[in-house]
Amino acid sequence: MFEPRRIKHCRVCGSPAAYRVPTDDTRERAICTACGEIHYENPLNVVGTVPVWRDQVLLCRRNIEPRRGLWTLPAGFLELGESTADGAVRETVEEAGARIVLDGLFTVLNVVRVGQVHFFYRATLQDTRFDPGPETIEAQLFREDEIPWDEIAFRTVRDTLRHFFDDRRSGRFGVHAGDIA
């Protein structure tokens, strides 16, 4: 089971926080001992794309931990003030320097043990010029039989790629949801 980060101090006034169940709630929350502010700890959202050029998918080799040197789809944490779609486009530009058009939500994967929800959108690349940012060693297009499956950084990426290729073979793209144990 996921263990949340433990909040030690109030983000409003800086006083110590204590964990207890607030009135009209069912879960233990961090509550400021001075001002009474309740601090909720919620999952982080990861957003990204499956960028496609004809029969190839764009992957990025990670230049950061965790899993530095392994391949991933362009993705990262959603920022405040963004929709999941806007964040997915931003992450694709930041990580791959790729120009895309979104084609729709594709996978929603819960990674409960680390408190994350991953959203991947299908996307069409507008061209094959890439300008990877500092988090990416290289960005490269792969056909299905060229995917370095043993070097994929995250299970959410592996599952998303498998769904993509299965759907492409069937000629119908759906939205896939699931849990990563």
Tell me the CATH number at 130. Answer: 3.90.79.10
Whether residues 90 and 143 fall in one domain: yes
Tell me the CATH number at 16. Answer: 2.20.70.10
Whether residues 18 and 91 fall in one domain: no
In total, how many domains does the chain have? Answer: 2
The per-residue pLDDT string of the chain (181 residues; one tens digit each, 9 = 90 and over) reads 556 668 999 999 999 999 999 999 999 999 999 999 999 999 999 999 999 999 999 999 999 999 999 999 999 999 999 999 999 999 999 999 999 999 999 999 999 999 999 999 999 999 999 999 999 999 999 999 999 999 999 999 999 999 999 999 999 999 999 999 8
SS3 97: coil
Residue 5: domain span: 1-42
Burial of 142 (0-12, 13-18, 19+ CB in 10 A): middle
